[in-house]
Amino acid sequence: MMLLHTRALFHWITESASKLKALFFMRRGWLAGLMGAFVSSSAWADWTVNMTEGVTAVSRSIYSLHMIIFIICVVIGVLVFGVMFYSILVHRKSKGAVPQQFHESTVVEILWTTVPFLILVGMAIPATKTLIDIYNTDESEIDIKITGYQWKWQYEYVGEGVSFFSTLSTPREQIQNSRIKNPNYLLEVDEPLVLPVGKKVRFLVTAADVIHSWWVPAFAVKRDAIPGFINEAWTNIDRPGIYRGQCAELCGKDHGFMPIVVDVRSEEDYEKWLVERKESAAQERMILEEDWPMARLMTKGKQVYGKVCAACHQVNGQGMPPIFPALKGADVAVNKTRVGDHVDILMNGIKGTAMQSFANQLNEAEIAAVITYERNAWGNKTGEMVTPKEILEYKKSGKYTPDPDNKTVTPFVNTNQAGL
Ligand code: HEC
Ligand SMILES: [Cu+2]
């Protein structure tokens, strides 16, 4: 929202500047020019510097609170400056004004204590009402657990068995300025949070690594996501639509690359979506039982790597040393005796570093695929593969045991050199 306002303001300034320039260079009809510049200006239509009202009862009461207090401030400002300028002008020395000499006027002291006090109490009453409303998460109909990660959001529909990650979908080329940017540049994700209209939704907000903050201005929801804590917030949205927000707590290198998109649908459409989502979760579980030959693991692994790992280790596997190590040529990824270590790193993360555990973020097939990919991409050529079944076993036993069916692997021949 802030961005929109800044943009509108910028637009207005540039437009006004060009109109002024036009005026200066106009020899004849300058009055007509002046009138034209100010009357027919479409720029006035964009003149929105105020807060937006948003689409929830809470956002509207915050908006009216903001307006009430704004008006109070304007009235006080006009009164105080009015009296001041009036006195300066009318009672100026050159007109022979003589200052009054008085000290410790009880009336004045009582007035300047009680009047501000009453004004403050008058402002605190509606503000407290709104605050209490903001924190009242009782009687929610839907619970969503939101977890912030470096740098993505996880949404879990509590009790529904549906959970997914939402990551930035703006292509890297646009970020690097080598392609024209989308209208929703950096405010778009692969999978938005889907919510129904007219239901009280409770958010349980937490984080898995550092502090993030989940912020959607149109809902007036902004809550810190802190590791080890669960903060609550709620919303009840009036109107279907796509609403966008951002992480609002500086959380590291890609802080500006973890946007929030909420797709608000009619209740019917939401239910339909939820059923579909549950079915695809069941299908995903079946996929684990299927056969996963090398080529399939590599294709899947490349996808997962690009989406999840490349932000730190880079698409070409070279990382950004010394903080984000290269995986290309890394001992753990090329040494045939260290498959177990490699699986450990993915499953448990590396304590105290940005390398987090992926055991709950990725399913078994995705973990197996990304490990296989790392061991066979960018010139790492071990020819080994790790299968979803092995990861499933790891989850049960807590350690890597090679599947005997999986040991007669012929070295992987990459027929798509350019692509890998
Ligand atoms: C948020 C940044 C980040 C993301 C995302 C990330 N890593 Fe890491 N990774 C690190 C850091 C930092 C280290 C080094 C930790 C240390 O200091 O030991 C590391 C280390 C590793 C290592 C060990 C390297 C070695 O030489 O010991 C492997 C293997 C690895 N990551 C694989 C992955 C894979 C696969 C993914 C995607 C599923 C991934 N990482 C995602 C930050 C990240
Ligand atoms: Cu963040």
User: In this model, does residue 46 exceed pLDDT 70?
Assistant: no
Calculate mean pLDDT across residues 61-84: 95
Substitution candidate for ligand 1 out of 257, 258, 313, 334 with most atoms within 8 A of CB: 313
Question: Whose alpha carbon is nearest atom 16 of ligand 1?
Answer: 353
Residues 246 and 308 reside in one and the same domain: no
Residues 254 and 389 reside in one and the same domain: no
Calculate mean pLDDT across residues 11-20: 51
Q: Which atom of ligand 1 is nearest to the CA of 367?
A: 38
Calculate mean pLDDT across residues 19-25: 45
Residues 234 and 148 reside in one and the same domain: yes
In tens, the pLDDT along 202-234 reads 999 999 999 999 999 999 999 999 999 999 999
Q: Which atom of ligand 1 is nearest to the CA of 362?
A: 38
Residues 296 and 274 reside in one and the same domain: no
Give residue 3's domain range: 1-49
Residues 299 and 244 reside in one and the same domain: no
User: In this model, does residue 201 exceed pLDDT 50?
Assistant: yes
For residue 33, name the pLDDT band (cuts at 50, 70, 90): very low
Residues 265 and 294 reside in one and the same domain: no
Looking at the CA of 212, which ligand is closest? Answer: 2
- Of 188, 420, 184, 168, the C-alpha closest to 307 is 168
User: Is 372's C-beta closer than 6 angstroms to any atom of ligand 1?
Assistant: no
Residues 150 and 276 reside in one and the same domain: yes
In tens, the pLDDT along 149-161 reads 999 999 999 998 8
Q: What is the pLDDT of residue 16?
A: 55
Q: What is the pLDDT of residue 15?
A: 55
Looking at the CA of 326, which ligand is closest? Answer: 1
In tens, the pLDDT along 272-287 reads 999 999 888 777 777 7
Looking at the CA of 375, which ligand is closest? Answer: 1
In tens, the pLDDT along 290-312 reads 788 899 999 999 999 999 999 99
Residues 281 and 313 reside in one and the same domain: no
Residues 157 and 278 reside in one and the same domain: yes
User: Is 308's C-beta closer than 6 angstroms to any atom of ligand 1?
Assistant: yes
Q: What is the CATH number of the domain that holds 346?
A: 1.10.760.10
User: In this model, does residue 408 exceed pLDDT 70?
Assistant: no
Domain boundary among 260, 285, 310: 285
Q: What is the pLDDT of residue 273?
A: 95
- Of 68, 261, 235, the C-alpha closest to 153 is 261
Residues 348 and 264 reside in one and the same domain: no
Looking at the CA of 344, which ligand is closest? Answer: 1
User: Is 309's C-beta closer than 6 angstroms to any atom of ligand 1?
Assistant: yes
**For the chain, how many structural domains are there in total?**
3
Residues 271 and 309 reside in one and the same domain: no
Substitution candidate for ligand 1 out of 312, 346, 382 with most atoms within 8 A of CB: 312
Question: Whose alpha carbon is nearest atom 41 of ligand 1?
Answer: 309
User: Is 335's C-beta closer than 6 angstroms to any atom of ligand 1?
Assistant: no
Q: Which atom of ligand 1 is nearest to the CA of 342?
A: 29
Q: Is residue 73 a part of any domain in this protein? A: no
Cis peptide before 404 (omega within 30 of 0): no
- Please classify residue 125 by burial: count the beta carbons closer than 10 Å to its beta carbon, then call 0-12 exposed, 13-18 middle and 19+ buried: exposed
User: Is 210's C-beta closer than 6 angstroms to any atom of ligand 1?
Assistant: no
Top pLDDT among 75 and 41 is at 75
Domain boundary among 251, 267, 285: 285
Calculate mean pLDDT across residues 345-365: 90
Is-contact 232 145, C-beta < 8 A? Answer: no
User: In this model, does residue 6 exceed pLDDT 70?
Assistant: no
User: Is 354's C-beta closer than 6 angstroms to any atom of ligand 1?
Assistant: yes
Residues 269 and 303 reside in one and the same domain: no
User: In this model, does residue 417 exceed pLDDT 50?
Assistant: no
Percent of the chain with pLDDT over 70: 85
In tens, the pLDDT along 119-135 reads 999 999 999 999 999 99
Q: Which atom of ligand 1 is nearest to the CA of 361?
A: 38
For residue 28, name the pLDDT band (cuts at 50, 70, 90): very low
User: Is 332's C-beta closer than 6 angstroms to any atom of ligand 1?
Assistant: yes
Q: Is residue 78 a part of any domain in this protein? A: no
